[in-house]
Amino acid sequence: MNKPVISEEKLLWMYETMVKIRVHEERAAELFAENKVPGFVHLYVGEEAVATGVVANLKKEDFISSTHRGHGHYIAKGGDIKASMAELFGKTTGCCKGKGGSMHIVDLSIGELGANGIVGGGIPHAVGAAMGIKLNGLDDVAVAFFGDGASNQQNFHEGINLAAIWKLPVVFVCENNGYQISLPYSKQQIINSVAERGKSYGIPAVSVDGQDVMAVYEVAKEAIERARNGEGPSLIEAKTYRFRGHFEGDPAIYRTKKELEWWKENKDPIIIFKKLLLEKNILSEDDSALIQKKKEEEIEEAVKFAESSPWPKKEDILKDVFSTSTKGVLVWEW
Amino acid sequence: MNEKKHKVCTTVGIIANPESGKDIRRLVSHASVFDNMEKVNIVERILTTLQAFGIRKVLVMPDTFGIVLRAINVIGKNLKIDIDFLPIETLGNWKDTYEATRQMKDKVSAIIVIGGDGTNRIVAKACGDVPIMPLSTGTNNVFPYMMEATIAAEAVAAIVMGFTSKEEGTYKRKRLEIFQEDKLKDIALIDIAVTMHSYIGAKAIWRSELLKEIVVTQCSPYNIGLSSIAGNIKEIRMDENHGFYLEIGDGEMIKAAIAPGVLKEISIKNFRILNLDEKVKLRNIPSLLALDGERELDINSDVYVKITRDGPKVINYQKTLRIAAQRGFFKN
Ligand SMILES: Cc1ncc(C[n+]2csc(CCOP(=O)(O)OP(=O)(O)O)c2C)c(N)n1
Ligand SMILES: [Mg+2]
């Protein structure tokens, strides 16, 4: 009997990844509330299926560029959570030696081009990476993750236009979670789907349910294969929702409790996927409990690592911050 | 026209699906995005046409994008039609369409449906005997018409204003009924495909390797989609009282356009005519059923399918307008 294109192993990887992201983010929320994490954190709870379903189609050499809400992308791409947790804590063992924080988690060794505090800032990075891939004659792919808000930025329009003209191996993944901070999508764009923008740049575009990891997986698979085969870029809009505020501490008065509850009850990507895996006998309740426990332990280990790591030294404050060497004098004189 | 005096309902319903026209087919086939502003334009044309032919009341499904609302804003004060929105909390999924159809069916004389096969399948579940005018939003549909909305609205007005009677201007379509343990589980309007996909995922079907069986109410060599596999063997018109069943496996090869620009070679093991009300037991279980081209139902136990004449009543716009013209519909 022909069986479909996805192995049980991959399905379980997807489930574990989604749970890992969820546990990580919920723990990060607690740590933020306990004042252990300096700076802003934007959490990915509720959007796990997007990063997971897309990255499930990538290999290590492929690139992703991320956003201010970037922990999920990093974890899905295989980022080391000890390095990211230490970064959140501002410790020297962090992936930016503690000088970047949540919005700068990065690991070039796994093709993670970095989270980005600039809305839409990751888009040109992915396009640039795709250009490099093409010039080097490789069959790798770059994926740019960004939000609905970012799709109003110049970076989006320029990036997508160049990628289309140069037929670059890049996939644009818009995580449309319905809000740009407090501004609902309907007040940002007169269209109802970011996918409608693909047409004006002459590339295929599709809108998909971002809470259904299998739907995201399938759509991303086609787009990524297209890019790999030299057929050029495509745009995916994944309709999703964030279960927490825009940033930790956001009272989120711009949306109703009822709306939030509806999404949590009906569109939790982990619940939806778990139900499918249970039905298909790929996962049991026991397996699921075990995965949950394992992920909690992994995250706890990362937290311990971060807590016990040293702070950066005062004298190193300007080290690794500028691309050209500087004694810092100029900076102080500003 | 004085509604009270005539005691006929001249209200028209409009259901416009904001979600249609953007699925994975844009990526895996050569279908193009059908954007929502184009749907707004369609509704503008419908409203101005209905108004020109004396329709004074329209009942609308509210939608997450506000297709009709935007059309109303564009037309502005020239719009003389009373437009009511059904009191539905929109969810942005098929339930909106189902609920709107259910609430509207006793209050309108015809429903204009703007969407694809999938949208019409949901409308068909709840519209009862109210005539519908299905307008396609995309290139890969069989059930709705690919036509200019102005003409569609004219045909609706001709029926609703009584120039052409429902008996003359509409016909019952066939439908496919799916039974599990003697209970009606779901319906389809054009085709049911049994596929070995193990999950619903992005819904559409663009690979033929996993297909096992297909049942159709109608099919022809000049239509697109899964039903074209059957249609390229034998044409079954919508007025014929039978359908077609075929099994895929070792046998003769047939070429078919299962999606826009996607031609597949499919090997047909056997096929036969399926009479109205004749039950056929599906052979490949467990599997998934694609209804009108979209993966919908995961099945694990025996399933029977039959074709009936209980599909929606659809307006034959050509016949309707031909008759109406003879009766002075276009005269002042
Ligand atoms: C260039 C720039 N402008 C404004 C901001 C402030 N800002 C931070 S997040 C954000 C909203 C981004 O919305 P969206 O792209 O939808 O992503 P989401 O937060 O919903 O994931 C804004 C405006 C910024 N960081 N960068
Ligand atoms: Mg957003």
CB contact under 8 A, A199 and B35: yes
A205 interfacial to chain B (CB closer than 8 Å): yes
pLDDT tens by residue, B281-312: 999 999 999 999 999 999 999 999 999 999 99
By three-state DSSP, how is residue B128 classified?
Answer: coil
DSSP secondary structure string for all residues of A205-274: EEEEETT-HHHHHHHHHHHHHHHHTT---EEEEEE---SS-SSTT---TTS-HHHHHHHHHH--HHHHHH
For residues B304 and A296, give the distance between their C-alpha atoms in angstroms, rounded to a whole number: 47
DSSP secondary structure string for all residues of A3-39: --S--HHHHHHHHHHHHHHHHHHHHHHHHHHTT-S-S
Tokens describing residue A206: 């599709």
Active-site residue set of A: 242, 246, 254
H/E run at residue B252: strand B242-259
The CA distance from A226 to the nearest CA of chain B, in Å, is 9
Burial (CB count within 10 angstroms: exposed 0-12, middle 13-18, buried 19+), residue B263: exposed
> Chain B contacts of A10, Cβ < 8 Å?
none
Contact (Cβ atoms closer than 8 angstroms) between residue B295 and residue B152: no
Determine which residue's CA is closest to atom 5 belonging to ligand 1: A119
For residues A71 and A73, give the distance between their C-alpha atoms in angstroms, rounded to a whole number: 6
> Chain B contacts of A276, Cβ < 8 Å?
199
A202 interfacial to chain B (CB closer than 8 Å): no
The CA distance from B253 to the nearest CA of chain A, in Å, is 19
Tokens describing residue A63: 């690139």
A235 interfacial to chain B (CB closer than 8 Å): no
Distance A143 CA to ligand 1 centre (A): 19
At residue B2, the pLDDT reads: 43
DSSP secondary structure string for all residues of B280-326: EE-S--SEEEEETTEEEEEE-S--EEEEES-S-EEE-HHHHHHHHHH
Phi then psi for residue A208, to 5 deg, are: -140, 155
pLDDT tens by residue, B116-125: 999 999 999 9
pLDDT tens by residue, B137-171: 877 889 999 999 999 999 999 999 999 999 999 99
Query: Which residues' Cβ are closer than 6 Å to ligand 1?
Result: A 42, 68-69, 117-119, 147-150, 177, 179-181, 246
For residues A238 and A151, give the distance between their C-alpha atoms in angstroms, rounded to a whole number: 13
Determine which residue's CA is closest to atom 4 belonging to ligand 1: A119
Q: Cα separations (Å) of B12 from A95, A323, B41, B43, B291?
A: 62, 67, 18, 12, 28
Q: What is the pLDDT along chain A (334 residues), one digit of tens a residue?
A: 344 578 999 999 999 999 999 999 999 999 999 999 999 999 999 999 999 999 999 999 999 999 999 999 999 999 999 999 999 999 999 999 999 999 999 999 999 999 999 999 999 999 999 999 999 999 999 999 999 999 999 999 999 999 999 999 999 999 999 999 999 999 999 998 999 999 999 999 999 999 999 999 999 999 999 999 999 999 999 999 999 999 999 999 999 999 999 999 999 999 999 999 999 999 999 999 999 999 999 999 999 999 999 999 998 887 887 776 655 545 544 3
CATH 3.40.50.970 fits A8-331, yes or no: yes
pLDDT band at B32 (very low <50, low <70, confident <90, very high): confident
For residues A130 and A108, give the distance between their C-alpha atoms in angstroms, rounded to a whole number: 14
ipTM, two decimals: 0.85
Report which ligand 1 atom has the smallest distance to the Cα of A180. Answer: 13
Tokens describing residue A95: 């992936």
Architecture (CATH level 2) of domain B175-308: Sandwich (2.60)
By three-state DSSP, how is residue B92 classified?
Answer: coil
The CA distance from B88 to the nearest CA of chain A, in Å, is 15
Q: Ligand 1, from A47, A151, A181, A248: best to mutate by most atoms within 8 Å of Cβ?
A: A181
pLDDT tens by residue, B55-72: 999 999 999 899 999 999
At residue B140, the pLDDT reads: 81
Distance B68 CA to ligand 1 centre (A): 31
A240 interfacial to chain B (CB closer than 8 Å): no
Amino acid at B291: L
Its sign, for the CA torsion A28, A33, A36, A42, is: positive
Q: Where are the domains of chain B?
A: 2-173+312-326, 175-308
- How, if at all, do strands B304-308 and B280-281 pair? antiparallel
According to DSSP, residue B173 is labeled: P
Q: Record the pTM.
A: 0.91
Whole-number percent of chain B with pLDDT over 70:
98
Amino acid at A188: Q
- How, if at all, do strands B57-60 and B11-16 pair? parallel
A115 interfacial to chain B (CB closer than 8 Å): no
pLDDT band at B332 (very low <50, low <70, confident <90, very high): confident
At residue B22, the pLDDT reads: 85
Mean pLDDT, residues B174-194 taken together: 97
H/E run at residue B183: strand B183-188
At residue B33, the pLDDT reads: 78
Tokens describing residue B258: 């299962």
At residue A334, the pLDDT reads: 39
At residue A325, the pLDDT reads: 62
For residues B69 and B84, give the distance between their C-alpha atoms in angstroms, rounded to a whole number: 10
Nearest partner of B321 among B163, B166, B144, B172, judged by Cα: B163
CB contact under 8 A, A215 and B37: no
According to DSSP, residue A334 is labeled: -
According to DSSP, residue B62 is labeled: -
Report which ligand 1 atom has the smallest distance to the Cα of A175. Answer: 21
Burial (CB count within 10 angstroms: exposed 0-12, middle 13-18, buried 19+), residue A98: buried
- Length of chain A counted residue by residue: 334
Nearest partner of A64 among A194, A224, A213, A283, judged by Cα: A224
The CA distance from A34 to the nearest CA of chain B, in Å, is 37
> Chain A contacts of B298, Cβ < 8 Å?
279
Would you identify the CATH topology of the domain B2-173+312-326?
Answer: Rossmann fold (3.40.50)
Residue among A177, A197, A206, A265 with most chain B CBs within 10 A, to mutate: A206
